[in-house]
Chain A
Amino acid sequence: QQQVKQSPQSLIVQKGGISIINCAYENTAFDYFPWYQQFPGKGPALLIAIRPDVSEKKEGRFTISFNKSAKQFSLHIMDSQPGDSATYFCAAFLMNTGRRALTFGSGTRLQVQP
């Protein structure tokens, strides 16, 4: 059972544009939602994360919007740059149990064209 659905599968954005990646989750027990960035040949790296008691979190050009009632969250990359070209994964986490088992979305391959 896929518990975190991610879309789109791939995304092409022009330099300076806004990249938007969406995720939806099923398990209402999830209580932490990180986004990871992965470059070819590297492991995923934590980009930004949000707790469900917050509707938005911004760090530099990266913003997470969170809609608890809809069980959806999204990543916005403002002023997208070619260096942002990577695969992005949303994830969900059960923090309260102390179990560090991330459930990942299927990934979005972002290409930012110069």
Chain B
Amino acid sequence: AQTIHQWPVAEIKAVGSPLSLGCTIKGKSSPNLYWYWQATGGTLQQLFYSITVGQVESVVQLNLSASRPKDDQFILSTEKLLLSHSGFYLCAWSLARTYEQYFGPGTRLTVL
């Protein structure tokens, strides 16, 4: 069975500090991977998606970047956090031709 793991579970960071969030998928070969940001209050915004290793497409610009160094790994990062980066970051996966996305447990980020 497939599992999706995100790390860390929660993070408290200072404005201007760097950030790296990770996501791994086990049990699925060559999944499509996604990063989402959920603001306090609930709105979900798709940030990035990746169809294959080394290829990442940006959906919105929020001073964040993403990389896919391995087939089962997706990384979200920034060199300088802003207050507006606070929120809930969700990783998701899907398979080509099925479209439904399955979400990881999420990382709660607080920027002070």
A-B complex is real: no
Q: Give residues in B with beta carbon < 8 Å to A.
A: none
Q: Give residues in A with beta carbon < 8 Å to B.
A: none
